[in-house]
Amino acid sequence: MLIGIDLGTTNSLAACFRDGKAEIIPNRLGGRLTPSVVSVDADGVVYVGETAKERGILHPLETASVFKRSMGTDREYILSGKKFSAEELSSLVLRSLKEDAEVYLGESVTEAIISVPAYFNDLQRKATKRAGELAGLNVSRIINEPTAAAIAYGMGSKGGDARYLVFDLGGGTFDVSILELFGPIMEVHAIAGDNFIGGEDFTALLTTMYLERAAIAPESLDVRTMGEVRKAAERCKCAFARHSEGTMSCTIDDQPFEMTLTLAEYEEACAPLLEKLRRPIERSLRDAGVSLAEIDQIVLVGGATRLPVVRRFVSKLFGRIPGVLVDPDEAVALGAALQCGMKARDQEIKEVVLTDVCPFTLGTEVMVDNGTFEEGGHYLPIIERNTVIPVSRTQTVCTAQDNQTRVNVKILQGESRMSYNNLLLGEVSVPVPAGPKGRESVDITYTYDVNSLLEVEIHVQSTGVHRKIIIQNEQNRMSEGEAAARMEQLQYLKQNPRHEEANRLQILRGERLYEESTADDRTAIDRGLMEFERVLNRQDRTEIERARKKLAKLLDKIEFGTN
């Protein structure tokens, strides 16, 4: 039996497709949502879901939650002396969903389609797939959460062909997607997002406000007391859905303290969080080449979209009331179940064709001529983000040095113009005949499929030598500490020729616009930044000011369309 699973940061749920429709599978307690929480006692007994969440109040050090944000990293959670990775904890949640589905369906469940945030990178997607395998499931497909939600919404809508913007704000991640439904085809045009903002952050804000008003330092509280404060903050946040004010009340060190907050005060405090939601929306619209006026439906997905402060933000931003045809908590799971029906070629939906896009740019590292010398470490995009998949693209590169005998191809994922700021997925090396630089040409072909599987093929034109690998592991990955240390060092090095704030501002702005742009605009920004950096190195203030104005004019044209 094949089921669809929404593996969420705060809650998870499963659904199936049978008798011509998608339906949510209840858990063993009769609920539709299973908290993504795991607790382990001293005897090694594992608790999952609502029981683990409840146990976590009394035993916070033996309980883990919000671990989805650490998928694909080296972070370890220690529960009752036992070490767990995020994917191992996720596998326990998935196993619980699998067991509940088997009881409900009365048959063995061996296969699943699991949803992930659209902005999950390669490592995070592979970690999710492994979590499913650890739970005893064959993960036949990884589907983007907004895409799944759009499937559920589009098939439930009677409005015919339409273009959708899916606003997916869950417990820990945010995605926005532009999709179009025309006839039997559901086509994804663009996706963007932020893996580190969600409903949990809106709860954390209330916790911070409460402690500040009570003049209590967070570090002075033990883990259990802090857990009680967070629980009170969650209740207060939910109260705003029904009332114009919320109250938090806790007893700390035998001293009661109560805070009453109006919705207007809370909304004002949420302004920085809401601003973080704006940029992915703007990027997705820009990448899709559409305006807000061309969007027919705004679809809210994820439990955090129930918050009045979020709904008011969306309504104000888009100038209309968003759609709520499908329960925000259940839309992704229902869409994953509908995808199960498509895979099984169920007669009810077998005519539906789904196209998706590559969420991140894939490329390699090259040397470029900066006008003075050959400069290494630059990023060469091969498959641009938001390219419809499956896709195959080829770029030809040449040897960069005299008497070079090997070409080393770094396989990278990301949006930065400098390779070291992107994610290294792997490397391939091929031998080439020694000779003058530029004489040997090498074709690099990237092929990316709907299951986030990347095949890289290297072909030396003169000798016919081929190398091919499939990226499906986590080799060459640095720990968070190593990455942070390296980035700190690189940042120090980058500051040296950029003494003045105005110069640093334009360079950082250019770096940001490069990540937000594609194709010709990226090339123009890269050249503009290299030209400015050459001038900076000459240390002539008059020349630097002139070059800075020229760069600012270029960036204004790209960002605002000005001349």
Residue type, 410: K
Which residue is catalytic, options 53, 68, 129, 237? Answer: 68
Which residue is catalytic, options 100, 168, 200, 201? Answer: 168
Q: Could you say which DSSP state residue 497 is in?
A: T
Query: Could you please report the per-residue DSSP string of 3-54?
Result: EEEE--SSEEEEEEEETTEEEEEP-TTS-S-EE-EEEE-TT--EEETHHHHH
Helix axes 86-105, 122-134, angle to 10 degrees: 50
Give the Cα separation of 540 and 531 in Å (integer).
14
Phi and psi angles of residue 196, each rounded to the nearest 5 degrees, phi first: -130, 40
Residue 57: which of 77, 78, 37 has the closest Cα? 37
Residues 26/368, Cβ–Cβ less than 8 Å: no
Which residue is catalytic, options 145, 329, 415, 516? Answer: 145
Q: Cα separations (Å) of 281 from 124, 292, 304, 388? A: 22, 10, 16, 19
Residues 370/423, Cβ–Cβ less than 8 Å: no
Which residue is catalytic, options 6, 175, 330, 415? Answer: 6
Residues 5/142, Cβ–Cβ less than 8 Å: no
254 is catalytic: no
Residues 237/246, Cβ–Cβ less than 8 Å: yes
Residues 360/385, Cβ–Cβ less than 8 Å: yes
End-to-end CA distance of the chain: 59
Contacts of 177 (CB under 8 A, 6+ apart): 118, 144, 146, 147, 150, 164, 165, 166, 168, 188, 190, 191, 284
Token representation of residue 348: 């009810």
168 is catalytic: yes
6 is catalytic: yes
**Residues tagged active-site:** 6, 68, 145, 168
